[in-house]
Structures are given as C-alpha cells and as structure tokens.
Amino acid sequence: MKKHKALKIIGIVLAAIILFFVVINVIPPRKNVESNPFVVREGNLPMIAAHRGGGLNNPENTMLAFREAVGTIGVDIIESDLYLTKDGYLVYNHDDYIDETCNVNGDISFEEVKALCEDETKRHYIADMTLAELEQYNFGYYFKDKNGNRIYKDVEDVEAAGLQIATVEKLFSEFYASNPDLKFIVEIKNDGEKGYKACDILYNTLKEYPEYMDQIVIGTFHDEIETELKTKYPDLLRGAPTGTAAKFILTQFLGVNIFDNGDFDCLQIPTSYDLGVELKLDKSTIIKRAHRRNIAVQYWTINDADEMRKLIELGCDCIMTDDPVLLKSILDEYR
C-alpha cells in the first residue's frame, strides 16, 4: 500500500514537471522589441553582413571596401568596430592600434610589423592620434588580392582611392541618399569615459541621418557602456553582451527560456563555443526561440561555403562574413 502511494506521488510530481515544461514552452513570451528590422520573414534568405566591410575582398574598414560591399556586391549590412580618436571622431578599425592595416611604420613587411607590435609600447594607438594624422596613411597597404599581390601598396592619393581610415559620419553620408535601407552592426570598443563619449557622438551623428537610427544595432563588451546604452539611449537597438547571450542560450538548451529576462534585440554568436568540449550553437531551436521574442540571430564570422549553406537551411537572420562575394554566390544558388 505504501509502495503504491509512493509511486502515485512520484507520478504526480513527474506529471507536474512535464506540465510545467509544456506550459512555459507553449505560452507566447513577451517580445523584446515590437519591430525588429534585423529579423527576416519566415522563408526569406538571411541578410549578408560584410564583416569589416568584407576584409577578404577589399582592404578592411576602408571606404573602398564599404563602397564595393554595398554598391557592387549588394550586402544588406555593414559590420565593424568603433574607436574614438584623440580629437573626438569615431573611426572604424578592428584593433585599437593601426600598425597592421596601414603604412604608419613606413616600408616594412607585414611580418616585421607583427614582430614590432608584440611590444605594446611601440604600437600606434587610435586614441593617441587625431583624425588628420590617421587620414594620411594608406589602409590598403598590406592588403593582398586572391593571387597574393599587394595591389594597393603604392597608391599615392589614398583619399581618392578610398583607402583612408573611415569615420562614422563619412560612411553614413556616403550611402544615406542612395541606400536609406542599409543596416549597420557596430561595436563600441572604448570603455569608461571614452566609451560614454563614443555613445554620445554616435547617437548625435545618427540624429543627422534619422533613417539609420532604427537600422543600427550596437554592441559592447563593457558593462558600463551596456548600461549607458540601455538607460540613456533606449531607442537604439542593442546586441546581447557575452554574459546575457550565454544566459539566453543556456535557458534555451534547458527548456526554461521563461526564466531569461535579457532585453537585447540581436543575438550575435559563433556556430560553436569551446568549453573544454565543443558547444554547438548552430541549432534551429535557438533561432526559433529567439524569433518568438522577435530577436534576430546573427552568426559570425563565417567564411566557409558549407557552413554558410547550413546556416541558410537553419533559417538564421544574418551571416557575417569576411567574404561577402562568396556568400552572395551561395545565396544566389538558393534564389
């Protein structure tokens, strides 16, 4: 009799647990944002995001790269990182120093530059230079074409060639009239007071290009900058910080997504994380559950054709790539 009663209790508990999981996965969750331009409609192909403007096709983060990506390739999104100059301009660059992308050290090889930069005191940091100083260098200096040739090494008029460092204002003004639907993914790399100032400059620049205000998503690795964006600029779309993204993914894997309260708009993730064991993130469940909350899922940085095809099949919203030419050709297969 006691055994029968214990089994009954266990059955009730199990039924309650199952019912709990069913309910939390059936009840529609609140949407993080009502309108999200980075979410593609069901059945549509993902957007192309040119990572650094497409660094395998053209010199990264230059106006030449951005013009080719938008005008020739036809990408949907420009992706890059932002740094603040000494005199208060926001420029696009992947690192906080410029040695590995331009001729700031004169006519030396890339291998010599890499060796030089191992000593951090010898690097040329964006924060220590004015925009005028930065604009004198050739940011296509070390770029190699598919045949391994440094085709922009000897360019003299870097402005005319579009090989100067690019500013936020210059990029917005370049495409605002011709491509008002162009989208942007940016990461504010500065922290502290410089990061706050970068947020302010970006927001004030966007006010001059109001169509882009709703077509940019901003990310950061710095908690204080994330808080600044949330509190001072709540009308701007934000990417999930690392910790917030990890919590979202964990709750999705465990099926307890009701307990995630992240208020971000875009989930920007690689296809896997190495946690001692490989954690695969290219899962349709992640995409579907993100879409229930109107969150866009954007994968980085994908340069392999087979990986691109897999993400297309999964129905993600965006693929960030250094090779938008390749991704465009893959998407054309599906069209």
Cα of first residue to Cα of last residue in the chain, in angstroms, is 66
Q: Please report which residue ranges of 235-319 form alpha helices under DSSP H.
A: 242-254, 284-292, 305-314
Quote the percentage of the chain above a pLDDT of 90.
80
Q: What is the mean pLDDT of residues 7-22?
A: 50
pTM of the model: 0.90
What's domain 38-95+166-334's superfamily in CATH? Answer: Phosphatidylinositol (PI) phosphodiesterase (3.20.20.190)
pLDDT digits (tens, 9 = 90+) for 178-225: 999 999 999 999 999 999 999 999 999 999 999 999 999 999 999 999
183 token code pair = 């989208």
Cβ atoms of 49 and 298 closer than 8 Å: yes
Cβ neighbour number for residue 210 with a 10 Å cutoff:
10
Domain boundaries, the chain: 38-95+166-334
Residue 145 CA to residue 142 CA, distance in Å, equals: 10
- What pLDDT sits at residue 33? 76
pLDDT digits (tens, 9 = 90+) for 250-293: 888 787 767 677 789 999 999 998 877 788 999 999 999 999 99
Q: What is the mean pLDDT of residues 292-320?
A: 97
Residue 19 CA to residue 25 CA, distance in Å, equals: 10
Cβ neighbour number for residue 231 with a 10 Å cutoff:
8
pLDDT digits (tens, 9 = 90+) for 229-243: 999 999 999 999 888
CB half-sphere exposure, 83, CA atoms < 13 A:
20
Say which residue, 97 or 246, is predicted with more confidence. Answer: 97
Q: Give the model's confidence band at 297: pLDDT under 50 very low, under 70 low, under 90 confident, else very high.
A: very high
CB half-sphere exposure, 188, CA atoms < 13 A:
34
Residue 301 CA to residue 322 CA, distance in Å, equals: 7
pLDDT digits (tens, 9 = 90+) for 52-86: 999 999 999 999 999 999 999 999 999 999 999 99
Task: Give yes or no for residue 114 having a pLDDT over 60.
Answer: yes
Task: Give yes or no for residue 16 having a pLDDT over 80.
Answer: no
Q: Which residue is listed with tokens 């701007």?
A: 236
Lowest-pLDDT range of 29-43, 128-142, 221-235, 297-311: 29-43
CA-wise closest residue to 140 among 110, 173, 184:
110
198 token code pair = 């970068």
- What pLDDT sits at residue 31? 73
Cβ neighbour number for residue 12 with a 10 Å cutoff:
10
Q: What is the mean pLDDT of residues 148-173?
A: 97
